[in-house]
Amino acid sequence: MAEARADATPGGDAHATLLAQAAVAIVLIVAWESAGRAFGHAWTSLPSLIAVRLGEWAASGLARHAAVTLFEITGGLALGASSGIVLGLVLGRTVTLSVVLRPFIVGLYSVPIVTLAPLLILWFGLDMMPKIVLVALSTFFLLFFNTFAGVQAIDRDLVEALRIMGASPREEFARVILPGAVAWIVSGLKIAVPYAFAAAVTGELLAARDGIGSLLAAAAAQFDMTGLYAALVVLMALGTLASALATRAERWLLRWRPAAQ
Amino acid sequence: MRMLDVRPRSIAPAAAAASNRVRLDAVSKSFTVRGTHTPALQETTLAIEDGAFVSLVGPSGCGKSTVLNLVAGLLTPSSGVLTYDGAPLSGLNRRVGYMTQKDTLLPWRTTEANIAAPLELACRAVPRREVAERVRAMIDAVGLRGFEKHFPAELSGGMRKRVALARTLIYEPETLLMDEPFGALDAQLKLLMHDQLQRLTQARRMTVLFVTHDLAEAIALSDRVLVMSARPGRIRRAQDIGLPRPRDVFRVRFSPEFGRLHEALWEELKDEVAKGTDV
C-alpha cells in the first residue's frame, strides 16, 4: 500500500538529486582546499588536514566521545520529551489547570536555557548528568508547547462522534486525542533534535572530560584550527544523521496524511 | 442517569413498545453569535414513534440539522422539552448513531479501521474475529471493496461518505440520525444505498430521522415526511407516506401514489425553497 502513495520521490529523480548534491560538496571542498593552499591556512585549516585528523581521532577514542555526546542527547531527550508530552497532554485536557500554570511555564521558558549550564555543572558535576539535564530542559518546553497545541487543535467533532458511539473518556483519549496529537508531537521532536545537540555540546564546552564538545573546547584552547573544524565536522555528521532518522520516523508515523508540503 | 449509561447496547431491536422514541415539545433553538441573536428553529412539536422512518426536507439553513443536533444532545433547546424514550435528554445521547453532514472519520485510520471503530469500544466488546467479519460484510455492502487499506485523505468525497455510513450502520444503533447521507453519491449508487438502508432499518426496527434535500429520496424511504419552512424553521406540513412496505426502492417512484405525494409535497416545498435561496 505504501508504494501507491506519492510521498517518495521517483527513483531516477532522487538519484539525480544525490549526484548534484555530491557535486556541490566536492566543489566546496576543492575550493576550500585550493584557497587554503594558495593563501595560507592558519585560520581556516584544510579539508585534507581535517580528514587526517579525523582518521587519527577515529583510531584513538572518537567513538567514545561521540557515544558520550549521543548518550547525553538521547537520555536528555527521553527525559525532557516524555515529561513535556505527558504534561502537554494533561494540561491540554484540563483547561483550568493550564490557565493557572501557564504564566509559570512561560516564565521558565523565557529563561535562556543555556545560561543554566553553570548552575547545573555546580549541582551535578563534570560528568554527563548536567548535560542530560540541560538537554532535558531545553527539549521539555518544545514538546510541552507542541503537545499542548496539538491537543487544543483536535477537531471537537471527532471527539463528539466517538462519544456518541459510546466511547469512555479513556477510549476517547486513546483513540482520538493521542493519535490526533501525534502529528504535533512528532514535529516537536523534529525541532527538538537540533536543540538537544546544541544543549549537550554547550554543556560539554563549558566543562567536560568527554564528548565532542570537550574535543572542541580542547582544540580552541590550543588554537588548533584543524581540531576545531574536525570536531565541527563530526557534529555536523551526527546532526544530519539524527535529522534523517527523525524524518524517517515522521514519515512512517504520519503516513495517513496527504503527501503535500 | 440512563442517558449516561454505557452498558452494552442491545444489538437486537429494542423493546417493541409503540411509544414515542423521540419527542419535541415546543422546542426552539436560537444562537447568539457576537451579540447577534439568530433564531434557527421556531417552536416545534413533533413525535417520532419507535421504529418509524421520518424525513425532514426543506430549504438550506432551515434548521434541519439543528433538529438532529438537538436529538443527538450536541445542542440543548433554548426553550421547550426534548424527550428520548420518555425521559428528558441531558448531555450527549449515546443511544443514537449520528451520521453528520461533515464526515468525522478519523484521518489516521484506514477505511476498515474507521468502520471497525464503534465495534472496538468496550461498551460493545465485539470479539476481534467477529469485528473483521462484520467490517468485511459492511465494506461490501457500501461498495468499498479494494479501498480497505486507504486512509480518508486518499478517498473521494463520495467514498468518505460511504465509510461514514458504514461506520454508523455497523453497530446498529436503535436510532439513526442522518444528515444528507447520500448527497455526494451518484444516482445509481444512491438507489443501492437506499435499498441497503431500508433492509437494515426494517430488519432491526431502527428509528430513523433523516435529513435530505431530495424530496423523492424522502418519499421513497420514509413513513412520514416533514416539510420545513425557510429560516427560522418550523414544520409546515407533516405527510404520512402510505406506500406499502417492503418497498422496491428502484420502482417505487413510478407508482401513481408516489407521483401524487411528490406533487403535493413539492407544492409545499417550492415556496420555501424560493424564500430560502436569498439567505
Whole-number Å distance between alpha carbons of A189 and A202: 20
For chain A, what is the HEC assignment?
A: CHHHCCCCCCHHHHHHHHHHHHHHHHHHHHHHHHHHHHHCCCCCCCHHHHHHHHHHHHHCCHHHHHHHHHHHHHHHHHHHHHHHHHHHHHHHHCHHHHHHHHHHHHHHHCCCHHHHHHHHHHHHCCCHHHHHHHHHHHHHHHHHHHHHHHHHCCCHHHHHHHHHHCCCHHHHHHHHHHHHHHHHHHHHHHHHHHHHHHHHHHHHHHCCCCCHHHHHHHHHHCCCHHHHHHHHHHHHHHHHHHHHHHHHHHHHHCCCCCCCC
> Residue A163: its chain B contacts at CB < 8 A?
92, 94
Q: Does residue A259 have a pLDDT over 80?
A: no
Q: At what angle do helices A47-59 and A225-253 cross, to 10 degrees?
A: 80
Q: What nine digits make up the cell of A60? A: 584513538
Q: Provide the whole-model pTM.
A: 0.79
Q: Does residue A170 have a pLDDT over 80?
A: yes
Nearest chain A residue to B148 by CA distance is: A1
Put simply, whether A257 touches B (Cβ < 8 Å) is yes
Report the percentage of chain A scoring pLDDT > 70.
Answer: 94
Residue A51, pLDDT score = 94
Nearest to B104 among A161, A171, A258 (CB): A161
Residue B271, pLDDT score = 80
Whole-number Å distance between alpha carbons of B192 and B158: 14
Q: Does residue A8 have a pLDDT over 80?
A: no
> Residue B9: its chain A contacts at CB < 8 A?
166
Determine, for residues B98 and A257 on separate chains, whether the beta-carbon distance falls below 8 Å: no
Determine, for residues A256 and B107 on separate chains, whether the beta-carbon distance falls below 8 Å: yes
Average pLDDT, chain A: 89
Mutation choice for B interface testing from A1, A164, A178, A186 by most B CBs within 10 A: A164
Put simply, whether A168 touches B (Cβ < 8 Å) is yes
Mutation choice for B interface testing from A165, A168, A176, A182 by most B CBs within 10 A: A165
Put simply, whether A164 touches B (Cβ < 8 Å) is yes
Residue B276, pLDDT score = 58
Q: What nine digits make up the cell of B138? A: 459492511
Confidence of residue A10 (pLDDT cuts 50, 70, 90): low
Of the candidates A158, A176, A165, the one whose C-alpha atom is nearest the C-alpha of residue B177 is: A165
Residues 6+ apart with CB under 8 A from B11: B172
Nearest to B108 among A160, A162, A256 (CB): A256
- Which value, to the nearest 10 degrees, does the dihedral of the CA atoms of residues A40, A45, A47, A51 take? 140
Whole-number Å distance between alpha carbons of B277 and B279: 5
Residue A39, pLDDT score = 92
Which of A6-20, A56-70, B11-25 has the weakest average pLDDT?
B11-25
Whole-number Å distance between alpha carbons of B44 and B28: 6
Q: Does residue B14 have a pLDDT over 70?
A: no
Q: Does residue A173 have a pLDDT over 50?
A: yes
Nearest to B117 among A160, A165, A256 (CB): A165
Residue B156 exposed, middle or buried by CB count within 10 Å (0-12, 13-18, 19+): exposed
Confidence of residue A31 (pLDDT cuts 50, 70, 90): very high
Taking phi over 0 as left and psi of -120 to 50 as alpha, with beta for the rest, B180 belongs to left
Of the candidates A202, A206, A94, A85, the one whose C-alpha atom is nearest the C-alpha of residue A141 is: A85
Mutation choice for B interface testing from A5, A162, A178, A256 by most B CBs within 10 A: A256
pLDDT tens-digit map of A202-253: 999 988 789 999 999 999 999 999 999 999 999 999 999 998 998 998 888 8
Chain B residues interacting with chain A (CB cutoff of 8 angstroms)? 6, 9, 72-74, 92-94, 96-98, 100, 102, 104, 106-110, 117-118, 121-124, 149-154, 171
> Residue A258: its chain B contacts at CB < 8 A?
153-154
pLDDT tens-digit map of B189-202: 889 889 989 988 88
Mutation choice for A interface testing from B5, B92, B95, B108 by most A CBs within 10 A: B108
Phi, psi of B208 (to 5 degrees): -130, 135
Give the distance from residue B237's alpha carbon to the nearest chain A alpha carbon, in angstroms.
Answer: 30
Query: Which of the two residues, A236 and B17, has the higher pLDDT score?
Result: A236
Which of A40-44, A196-200, B15-19, B67-71 has the weakest average pLDDT?
B15-19
> Residue B106: its chain A contacts at CB < 8 A?
158, 175-176, 179
Of the candidates B119, B72, B88, the one whose C-alpha atom is nearest the C-alpha of residue B2 is: B88
Q: Does residue B148 have a pLDDT over 60?
A: yes
Whole-number Å distance between alpha carbons of B276 and B227: 13
ipTM above 0.85, yes or no: no
Nearest to A171 among B109, B121, B154 (CB): B121
Give the distance from residue A121's alpha carbon to the nearest chain B alpha carbon, in angstroms.
Answer: 44
> Residue A165: its chain B contacts at CB < 8 A?
94, 97, 117-118, 121, 171
Contact A184, A154 (CB under 8 A): no
Give the distance from residue B256's alpha carbon to the nearest chain A alpha carbon, in angstroms.
Answer: 40
What is the 8-class DSSP label of residue B12? S
